[in-house]
Amino acid sequence: MNAPQPTKHHEVVIIGGGSAGVSVAARLRRAGVNDVAIIEPSDRHYYQPLWTLVGGGRAPAAATVRPQASVMPKGVAWVRGRAVDVDPQAATVSTDDGRTIGYHYLVVAPGLQLDFDRVPGLTETLGRNQVSSNYRFDLAPRTWDFIRDTTGGTALFTMPPGPIKCAGAPQKIAYLAADWWRRHGRLDNIRVILVLPTPAMFSQPDWATVLEGIAAGYGIEVRRESQLVEVNGDQRQAVVLDNKTGSKESIDYTLLHAVPPQSAPDWVKHTPLADPASPFGYVKVDQYTLQSPTWPNVFALGDAANLPTSKTGAAVRKQAPVLVANLLAARRDGHPSVRYDGYTSCPLVTAHNRMLLAEFDYQLKPTPTIPLVNTMKPRYDMYLLKRYGLPALYWHGMLRGRA
Ligand SMILES: Cc1cc2nc3c(=O)[nH]c(=O)nc-3n(C[C@H](O)[C@H](O)[C@H](O)COP(=O)(O)OP(=O)(O)OC[C@H]3O[C@@H](n4cnc5c(N)ncnc54)[C@H](O)[C@@H]3O)c2cc1C
């Protein structure tokens, strides 16, 4: 069977108009690339890092969303649709409304997929029965409702196994909640349990040690190498599996904040771009150049890329200029020579007005970018950076290809 003829062709096609897709498009336009298209189904663009503060009652949900049209770089064609397949041989992308779009260069940035369904009972009770998740725009405000409702009992905060976006987020909300309960005289009546799949509190050992102290300061019980495996919302019961012993415990909760398992979007898993070495189906690219090792005209970045670093917007900010430089080099028949070092950062909110900033690279080596400031100590100025500085940098710098 012959491949379908493209209904439209662009020099650069970007799948996904999120943090990564818009940043790359803006940089390409600044570099003088005229024919850039973004395939993006959503009318709304979200600044997800603030959802933690929405769930913790420190920011309104409205501050995290803008019309997609307002962030689309000038001169970029917006293909309103959902990519459903890529044929890298034919250099085409298919969309859910039957279009086939041809490209010279492809940038894959559709983010990742939230797999709430992988925990039986969880989807059915989201937003009800005191169960929430900051990982969805509509649910983050419910987290704050449920934190305020909680006066006693057991509050459970869970993190799933496997790579997730912002690996600090499952515990940040536990700290914000515990801090609020303490300031309102309730913490002594609430047993707070943090369920982590890993042996350590954080991938980077220096910050893992700091976070152990923060959790202990709130009296939080940390269950390591454990995971949420079932929820019965009507009974307000959650089942936690201890992966070391294989034993399961049913916990009666008064609040459950569950971070869902995550993976590449299903359609990506079924394309030849998916990395066979990734159990989660993320896109295979060279971890330094962000170029596909098989198809030199294909690049990927952001949450969808199989990169051995923490999936964050901060990582995207460092990946975008590297990807653009290497795509432009490929376009000039040159060699992609600019390297991404794995930089990522996690603003770890530890109280309503305190934050520490973890920054590190592929080697987990600390890579501080703020001179003369000890970001391993919870600080008020770092909190202000998280609440006001980073969102401004995002909307006005990163999405415009300037930062
Ligand atoms: C609760 C929470 C807290 C976080 N905290 C932080 C933090 O403190 N610091 C930090 O740096 N990062 C944080 N992050 C992570 C950060 O938001 C992501 O890493 C970042 O948004 C990744 O950018 P992306 O472009 O790869 O994906 P996204 O920004 O998710 O964008 C993906 C885009 O692709 C579109 N799309 C989806 N499917 C398709 C399709 N089939 N075809 C075309 N388009 C499609 C989507 O509509 C979306 O616009 C947090 C995330 C969450 C959820």
- Ligand 1 site residues (CB inside 6 A) read 15-21, 39-42, 48-49, 51-52, 82-83, 109-111, 134-135, 165-166, 169, 265, 302-304, 311-314, 316, 347
Burial 64-81 (b: 16+ CB within 10 A, else e): beeebeebbbeebeebeb
Identify whether residues 86 and 127 lie together within a single domain: no
Identify which of 135, 139, 312 to mutate to test ligand 1's pocket (most ligand atoms within 8 A of the CB).
Answer: 312
How many domains does the chain fold into? 2
Percent of the chain with pLDDT over 90: 96
Which of the listed residues 297, 320, 340 is the one where a domain comes to its end?
340
Q: How far is CA 84 from CA 25, 61, 396, in A?
A: 20, 30, 31
- Record the pTM: 0.97
Identify whether residues 284 and 152 lie together within a single domain: no
Whether residue 367 is contained in a domain is answered as no
275-318 per-position pLDDT tens digit: 999 999 999 999 999 999 999 999 999 999 999 999 999 999 99
Identify whether residues 144 and 212 lie together within a single domain: yes
Identify whether residues 107 and 130 lie together within a single domain: no
Comparing CA positions, the residue from 235, 250, 47, 57 lying closest to residue 146 is: 57
User: What pLDDT, on a 0 to 100 scale, did the predictor assign at position 40?
Assistant: 98
Q: Which domain holds residue 274?
A: 8-112+264-340
Identify whether residues 158 and 242 lie together within a single domain: yes
Q: How far is CA 241 from CA 114, 163, 208, 229, 253, in A?
A: 20, 18, 22, 6, 15
Identify whether residues 241 and 192 lie together within a single domain: yes
Identify whether residues 257 and 119 lie together within a single domain: yes
Question: Which atom of ligand 1 is closest in space to residue 20's alpha carbon?
Answer: 25
CATH code, 160: 3.50.50.60
Q: Give the separation between CA 111 and CA 127, rounded to whole angstroms.
A: 23
Amino acid at 87: D
User: How crowded is residue 32: how many other Cβ atoms within 10 Å of its Cβ?
Assistant: 7
Identify whether residues 236 and 282 lie together within a single domain: no
Q: Which of 55-64, 153-162, 330-339 has the lowest mean pLDDT?
A: 330-339
DSSP calls for 191-248: EEEEE-SSSSSSSSHHHHHHHHHHHHHTTPEEE-SEEEEEEETTTTEEEEEETTT--E
Measure the CA dihedral 53/55/57/62, to 10°: 70
Question: In this structure, are residues 179 and 352 in contact, taking their beta carbons and an 8 Å threshold?
Answer: yes
Identify whether residues 152 and 22 lie together within a single domain: no
Whether residue 235 is contained in a domain is answered as yes
Identify whether residues 121 and 181 lie together within a single domain: yes
